[in-house]
Structure 1
Amino acid sequence: MNIKAIYQLLRDHQITLAPGLSDKEVSQIESIYNIQFPPDLRELLQYVLPIGRSFPIWRDFSKSTMAAIRRQLDAPLEGILFDIEHNQFWHHSWGARPNHLEEAKKIACQEYLKVPPLIPVYGHRYIPSTPAEVGNPVLSVHQTDIIYYGSNLEEYFKIEYRLKAQSELDDAKIKYITFWSQLIEG
């Protein structure tokens, strides 16, 4: 990953940039939110911290900012639950769908705890925290309408800032992520 290229891309698009997070700050953030940054996102956030314009402001521990980050972290599950209730979504790996909505939601919440957690990068763009390795894809997540928005973090920023078209992605060459890739593939 070329962090300097991402940094320059962010600067070119007038994104407000703060100094990167310290090891202590990363540990504190991961502990507060019960997350683990994948290595490439951690490396970027320790080099430079983009803020504003829908970037999570990880360094801000005010009540309102922490609530906003928690909403971003919860949004993928909330989207799944919405689609279960309103669009008859049900993932085949969960077994037969219960007839009662509340039981279906309960099972979905239990199953959600087994899938790779998603970490917000920007707005509704997320990167899986597992596998804990460089090169996880970035996903655009809107309820269960999920697409790849970059085969990795660097490519994601090129797509987000229109240096590359999302349609140019070759899904067959993107790292497979349990559950999330299944939703993309249908």
Structure 2
Amino acid sequence: MDIPSNLTEFLYWVKERTEKLWLVDDENCPKGFYGARWQGLSEEQIDDIERKYEVSFTSEHREFLKILHAIDKKEIVEYEDEGELITEECTFFYNWLENEEEIISQIKCFYKWVWDDIISVNYVWLKSWGVKPNSLERKKEIFDEWFSKLPQLLPVRNSACVVNNENLKWNPVVSVSGSDVNILGWDFRTYLLYELREHLNIYTDVYDEEDQMFYPEIIDEVQQIFNENYKYDETKDIPYLKEMILYWSSGWRGFGLSYHPENARVHPIVK
């Protein structure tokens, strides 16, 4: 398949491959995507967005916005609710020209999600915060000081966010669910291979002798990219946020680390 390693070439490869798949109205084209096209932004538009939202995109994020950015179709999601089939149209990648309310909500919600996990739900408390005080006011002071040092998280799709820090060696994209933060890719290339896996035709059917059936598996070239990207490297760091990621057992994989013995019962690192 020869997936480009250069980011710009890779983004054009994604554009060509996905739009070609979306041009054929068959079972391989996801519902709602027939005829879909990417809507890239100009340098001037990106500059205007940075001023409007008071953000500064990393070079990788900026390149993504120029070539891909958003799709001109809505994703059609179907599910059952009390026996009734519900159909909804959902934004796929956030459009910085049109989805202002959703983008601002996502940017602001991270604070609330993590704070809620501290004062209720999971009662998270990091080691670096010291002894947990009884006072809610003091807890908030400690949390606010920590949160003020975090790199900003800029939304890309659903709960996926770019870690907005150009000074990092890596350019991670993370998913955020309350205080549970996971690495989706240590760069945009790996993240997009993961996020668009159903749209890139990167699966092959593998026969299972036991079940006597074929099952789809990611092709070796893509799996190798994933393995390489998640490999342990001491330079993989996200200031302050790393401790929160490693708080939950699920976070260790994102740093290519292993904390629990095989088959061990999984617990948070800090109770």
Q: For the superposition of Structure 1 and Structure 2, which TM-score range results when normalised by the shorter chain? A: 0.7 to 0.9
Matched, 1:172 2:232: yes
Distance 1:68 1:96, change over 3 A: same
Partner residue of 1:69 out of 103, 120, 139:
103
Determine if contact 2:160/2:173 at 8 Å carries over to the other structure.
Answer: yes
Determine if contact 2:149/2:240 at 8 Å carries over to the other structure.
Answer: no
Greater C-alpha Rg: 2
Q: Secondary structure at the match of 1:158?
A: helix
CA distance in 2, matches of 1:132, 1:35: 15
CA distance in 1, matches of 2:243, 2:13: 31
Distance 1:50 1:77, change over 3 A: same
Partner residue of 2:119 out of 61, 85, 109:
85
Determine if contact 1:128/1:137 at 8 Å carries over to the other structure.
Answer: yes
Determine if contact 2:59/2:166 at 8 Å carries over to the other structure.
Answer: no
Determine if contact 1:135/1:152 at 8 Å carries over to the other structure.
Answer: yes
Distance 1:81 1:160, change over 3 A: same
* Unpaired segments ≥5 residues, structure 1: none
Partner residue of 2:44 out of 11, 14, 24:
24
Worse overlay, 31-40 or 160-169: 160-169
Q: Secondary structure at the match of 1:90?
A: coil
CA distance in 2, matches of 1:146, 1:8: 31
**RCO comparison, higher one (Cα < 8 Å, 6+):** 1
CA distance in 2, matches of 1:127, 1:76: 13
1:101 shift after superposition: 2.1
**How many residues are matched?**
182
1:63-117 deviations in Å (ceiling 9; x for gaps):
xx32211111122222111101112112233333332224322432232121111
Partner residue of 1:56 out of 91, 94, 116:
94
1:123 shift after superposition: 0.7
2:245 corresponds in structure 1 to 184
1:138-159 deviations in Å (ceiling 9; x for gaps):
1111111111111211111111
Determine if contact 1:36/1:129 at 8 Å carries over to the other structure.
Answer: yes
* Unpaired segments ≥5 residues, structure 2: 1-6, 23-32, 75-90, 203-221, 248-271
**Percent same amino acid among aligned pairs?**
25
Distance 1:97 1:35, change over 3 A: farther
CA distance in 1, matches of 2:37, 2:169: 23
More strand by share: 2
Distance 1:157 1:176, change over 3 A: same
Instruction: For 1:1-186, list aligned pairs within 5 A.
Output: 1=7, 2-11=10-19, 12=21, 14=33, 16-51=36-71, 52=74, 53-60=91-98, 65-86=99-120, 87-132=122-167, 135-162=170-197, 163=202, 168=227, 170=230, 172-173=232-233, 175-186=236-247
Q: Secondary structure at the match of 1:172?
A: coil
The TM-score normalised by the length of structure 1 is: 0.82
More helix by share: 1
Determine if contact 1:38/1:134 at 8 Å carries over to the other structure.
Answer: no
Paired residue type of 1:69: I
Determine if contact 2:39/2:67 at 8 Å carries over to the other structure.
Answer: yes
Determine if contact 2:69/2:93 at 8 Å carries over to the other structure.
Answer: no
